Structure 1
Amino acid sequence: MKLSIQKTYKLSSNYYIPTVALGTYDLPSSETTEIVENALDVGYRHFDTAVLYDNEEEVAQGISNWLIRHPETKRDEIFYTTKLWNSQFGYQNAKRAIRECVDKVQDLKYIDLLLMHSPIGGPQIREETWRAMQEAVDEGIVKSIGVSNFGIKHLKELFQWDGLKYRPVVNQIEISPWLMRQELADFCKMEGLVVEAYAPLTHGYKINHPDLIKISNELNNTKNTGQILIRWSLQHGYVPLPKTKTIGRLESNLDVYDFELTEDQMKFLDHPEAYEPTDWECTNAP
């Protein structure tokens, strides 16, 4: 079968982002390093963490350990994302926080993608934080910058800010068939942002939904419901961030490039009228 989904997308910053990432929220910190190494073994090259997750050092350690054992793989083949938390917003706070984020992952030498974790704080705080993030790009310690949980209003304000030097390359938001956010996703794509979909497996709430089981049956049960959700996200052009700590699911969540959902199956899964977030909602913050 012809593979219809690329393994990487080109960001507006001219770097390449792998199209499936391992989300690391809520992974036990004592297990995180090993989980990351296992993920690299089965083919993951993109890892998503945050200051809030309290596991940046463990994620970076896993990457560093693995690279030492696999010198044929270069650092620039692995994509590391972290996010500033709301309490670190504002110019001085963000400058200090970015330095802390970089210091935590010294062996990686730089951060591939740094995000604002939310729009909370208001326009001035967002602009001050963005200024600090832009300076980190100029310093070479961060390659690309982006946002998370931003609504259209927040993005428009940032685009209109006269201090804007580097546009956000991604907006990471919760997206699933039951939380499609089509207007926001379309706006991001139109403006050249890659849409990253967190909680693509709905934190397990919909994993046994009859619609998913029906499609799994149509595929002769060669793909499980989690793989169908990840594939749905990919076929919409998003970068899904599935999370798991078991090796079997690490492998299956990445085994999503060798099949295709039909147009009818995609439409069957789409629920544009639904609004069922499983995580926090702040795309409508002031």
Structure 2
Amino acid sequence: MKVAFIGTGSMGSLLIDAFLRSGALHQSFICISNRSPHKAERIAGRHPGIRIVDSNVEAARESQIIFLCVKPLDFPGVLSEIKDVLTDRQIIVSITSPVQIEMLEQAVPSRIAKIIPSITHSVQSGASLCIYGSRIQPEDRLLLEQLMSSISTPLIIKEEQTRIASDISSCGPAFIAFILQRWAETATEMTGIDRADALYLGSQMLLGTGKLLTEGGLSPEELQRRVSVPGGITAKGIDILDLGLQDVFSRLIDATHQKYNEDLDKLDKLFSEIQNER
């Protein structure tokens, strides 16, 4: 199975590294293209056998699965470039949330899937969000989910849930890391604990908490009850968090959805321009 990656930036290179590390793909069956050659060369340097091609057209022409790992506003240009070499038997995988499946199906003849990855896949963890277009066949879904299962836990969602699901699974690691950073810095300033020790304790706590909520079968409410004694230290801390976080997550969701909708509007205009040029 030949797989192409068009775009080898942060997430494209992460997926390549993760698939190869897991053994799901072999270097000799991967080809990559990128407008910045040095990024592609860095990946090929880590994984001898990966083929760097000179153009997106060449990457798309010979591959069964084509991962489009470019920025949302670059999609119309890339699709215009490769559409003439695509067939209805190939699978295009978009890893970008604002690009709608309907837009892609109107632009190219191929089978379309949208799979939103997470940085957690670099340690073969986390959920990958899977949304399928109308042309995807059962065997295509099986193929894609087997591939993603090697580095993640695939979760099928509706396209209208993409933004909020991405907030949690893909943006979430950065949000939680930001909270941990602030917590550790404040602990260092107020108590003198070594910052590295505070970060290590927090990281190990997050790892264990994740296992309790998944492998341990505890719900968030159950976990709080197990740790928190009425009138105790944890209960006092939860009271502070409850007061301080009352509208934080509604504001966060409003902000991410506003940016998402702005991107949708820009993409609608770009794809409409392409349709009008035909």
Which range, TM-score by smaller chain? 0.3 to 0.5
TM-score by length of 2: 0.36
Give the structure with higher Rg (CA). 2
> Which protein is richer in helix relative to its size?
2
